[in-house]
């Protein structure tokens, strides 16, 4: 998860909100029968085996090894590379319909392009086969922050148009090798926030930015122009891979291809006309920047106006390729933000993306280290997609609660959050949203991009002090499992279920 961090680092702060863990007023049978429930991870965050079997470094590896994740790295992570069978077993026990994971480009194609690594192929074939054998749908993301470092070094990765061809070839290998079993492909994770955090503010890989950002961490970059250039290439790369899939594979493989964006929700801080207009501007910049080209073939007018010559233009042909290049949209949603008009930002020289929006973003604080529970934000995003973008099929690819990572398996706050958001999701579906699935972030406590192992989102705790990296179910795993098995679990029952298990794991941690 990347995006919520972006808003916290950018925003003023407002203090309110809390909810109660009441018993559920719905069960999974209230959702459409073909609606799928899952949980997710990404390659660098869980696999480990960073040096094994021919894998080469990615930009995320470089970032973590420079100490930016509280000194933690993905060298071992949760070691899913070796423990995938055990993890699939846990997924089965939990009752997941689907598992969302990503493919490490530098494991599959160590030079970024060219020869395919047979050991990389073998790993992903094994994982996919294990999932299928147990009736769990693989939902695969191709790019989740971790660009092969070799491509960053050679031509500055997403800043070069050359990325379009290399990404398409990587995608081609994935479709060809795994597409007989993988029916849900997502080209890019959180394209909008990947660019803002990586090229505007520069606090995630590849860490590019210029003043006012980056006094501490960017060696190079240009926050005025690079976010728009990288964003443009992401859209072109997505469109190119989607076109390839549709032309060459879809008829035979019968799968679906989409793209994921970070789905903020924005609400005006006050009901003044200025704040209401500013809120629409925030939607146009943070959502429309990607969604308008995908749905209508061009950037929103206000984005083109405020970014001027810094945003590349689509050629006629590119516009045709990008428009409609998806079967579904994946959304990562964690929080809603209040918007206040700030025209002063538009008067600064060397404007960057955030300044081009001309707003102040005001976060609501939850309990320390946690998100506030604002499920109307998810409903807002889904309604907006319904009304403005033609109600495309949507997968909620990420949603979940951050907490401090520790041996406390009683993550009641996570259960409260998830339960509230599922309720909001159900309301949106009942009001006509085309949402098709919901994935909790994250299945395990993974390496988080900034927080490392300090905070976590997992349904399962991973004991990093144990050489076996044993997994322990938290209250949220029991709760989700109960829900998936059609029960309506009350907090008391959930606590009861978890008491024995917690006693067991406490015994272990005392040894």
- Write out the residues near ligand NAG by the rule CB under 6 A: 210, 222, 224-225, 270-271, 310, 369, 379, 383, 387, 403-404, 406, 408, 410, 412, 431-432, 495, 498-499
Q: Is 318 a catalytic residue?
A: no
Closer residue to ligand NAG (CB): 273 or 431: 431
Closest approach, Cβ 495 to ligand NAG, in A, equals: 4
User: Whole-angstrom Cα distance, residue 42 to residue 63?
Assistant: 16
Closest approach, Cβ 370 to ligand NAG, in A, equals: 7
Query: Does the bond joining 349 to the residue before it have cis omega, within 30 degrees of 0?
Result: no
- Please name the residue ranges forming H helices in 158-212: 162-178, 191-195
Closer residue to ligand NAG (CB): 125 or 509: 509
User: Whole-angstrom Cα distance, residue 52 to residue 80?
Assistant: 13
Closest approach, Cβ 203 to ligand NAG, in A, equals: 18
Farthest CA pair distance, the chain: 67
Closer residue to ligand NAG (CB): 385 or 439: 385
Closest approach, Cβ 352 to ligand NAG, in A, equals: 9
Closer residue to ligand NAG (CB): 5 or 184: 5
CA angle at residue 475 from 491 to 9, to 5 degrees? 105
Name 160's Cβ contacts closer than 8 Å, sequence gap at least 6. 233
Closer residue to ligand NAG (CB): 168 or 412: 412
Closer residue to ligand NAG (CB): 64 or 382: 382
Return the half-sphere exposure (C-beta side, CA atoms, 13 A cut-off) of residue 220. 5
* Nearest in space to 36 (alpha carbons), one of 238, 242, 183: 183
In the block, which residue shows the tokens 């309720």? Answer: 423
Q: Are 87 and 80 in contact (CB under 8 A)?
A: yes
Closest approach, Cβ 438 to ligand NAG, in A, equals: 18
Q: Are 65 and 73 in contact (CB under 8 A)?
A: yes
Q: Are 388 and 359 in contact (CB under 8 A)?
A: no
Buried b (16+ CB within 10 A) or exposed e, 215-233: eebbeebbbbbbbbbbbbb
Closer residue to ligand NAG (CB): 157 or 380: 380
Q: How many residues does the chain have?
A: 511
Among candidate residues 177, 226, 398, 448, the one labeled active-site is 398
Q: Is 451 a catalytic residue?
A: no
Return the half-sphere exposure (C-beta side, CA atoms, 13 A cut-off) of residue 317. 2
Among candidate residues 130, 190, 318, 451, the one labeled active-site is 190
Closest approach, Cβ 391 to ligand NAG, in A, equals: 9
Q: Quick one: three-class SS letters along 281-345?
A: HHHHHHHHHHHHHHHHCCCCHHHHHHHHHHCCCCCHHHHHHHCCCCCEEEEECCCEEEEEECHHH
Closest approach, Cβ 429 to ligand NAG, in A, equals: 11
Positions annotated as catalytic residues are: 190, 398
């Amino acid at each position: 998860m990347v995006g919520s961090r972006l808003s916290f680092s950018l925003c003023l702060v407002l203090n309110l909100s809390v909810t109660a863990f009441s018993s559920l007023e719905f069960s999974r049978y209230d959702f459409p029968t073909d609606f799928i429930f899952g949980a997710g991870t990404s390659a660098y965050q869980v696999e480990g085996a960073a040096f094994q079997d021919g894998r080469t470094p990615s930009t995320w590896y470089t970032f973590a090894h420079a100490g930016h994740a509280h000194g933690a790295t993905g060298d071992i992570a949760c070691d899913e590379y070796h423990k995938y069978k055990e993890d699939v077993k846990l997924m089965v026990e939990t009752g997941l319909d689907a598992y969302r994971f990503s493919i490490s480009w530098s494991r599959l194609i160590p030079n970024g392009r060219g020869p395919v690594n047979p050991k990389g192929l073998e790993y992903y074939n094994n994982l996919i086969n294990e999932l299928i054998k147990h009736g769990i749908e693989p939902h695969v993301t191709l790019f989740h922050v971790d660009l092969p470092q070799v491509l960053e070094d050679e031509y500055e990765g997403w800043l070069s148009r050359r990325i379009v061809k290399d990404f398409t070839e990587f995608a081609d290998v994935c479709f060809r090798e795994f597409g007989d079993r993988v029916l849900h492909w997502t080209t890019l994770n959180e394209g909008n926030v990947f660019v803002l955090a990586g090229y505007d503010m520069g606090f995630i890989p590849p860490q590019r930015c210029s003043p006012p950002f980056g006094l501490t961490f960017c060696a190079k970059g240009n926050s005025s122009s690079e976010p728009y250039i990288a964003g443009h290439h992401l859209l072109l790369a997505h469109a190119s891979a989607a076109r390839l899939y549709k032309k060459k594979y879809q008829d035979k493989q019968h799968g679906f291809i989409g793209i994921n964006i970070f789905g903020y929700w924005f609400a005006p801080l006050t009901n003044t006309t200025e704040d209401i207009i500013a809120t629409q501007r925030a939607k146009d910049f943070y959502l429309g920047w990607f969604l308008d080209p995908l749905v209508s073939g061009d950037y929103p007018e206000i984005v083109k106006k405020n970014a001027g010559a810094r945003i590349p233009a689509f050629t006629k042909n590119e516009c045709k390729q990008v428009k409609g290049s998806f079967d579904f949209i994946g959304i990562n949603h964690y929080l809603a933000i209040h918007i206040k008009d700030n025209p002063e930002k538009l008067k600064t020289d060397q404007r960057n993306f955030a300044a081009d929006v001309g707003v102040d973003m005001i976060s609501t604080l939850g309990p320390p280290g946690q998100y506030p529970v604002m499920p109307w934000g998810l409903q807002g995003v889904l309604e907006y997609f319904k009304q403005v973008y033609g109600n495309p099929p949507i997968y909620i690819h990420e949603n979940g609660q951050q907490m401090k990572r520790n041996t406390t398996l009683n993550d009641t706050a996570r259960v409260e959050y998830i339960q509230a958001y599922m309720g909001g999701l159900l309301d949106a579906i009942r009001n006509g949203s085309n949402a098709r699935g919901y994935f909790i972030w994250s299945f395990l406590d993974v390496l988080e991009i900034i927080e490392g192992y300090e905070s976590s989102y997992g349904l399962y705790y991973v004991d990093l002090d144990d050489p076996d990296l044993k997994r322990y179910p938290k209250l949220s795993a029991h709760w989700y499992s109960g829900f998936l098995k059609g029960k309506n679990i009350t907090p008391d029952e959930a606590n009861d279920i978890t008491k024995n298990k917690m006693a067991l794991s406490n015994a272990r941690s005392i040894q």
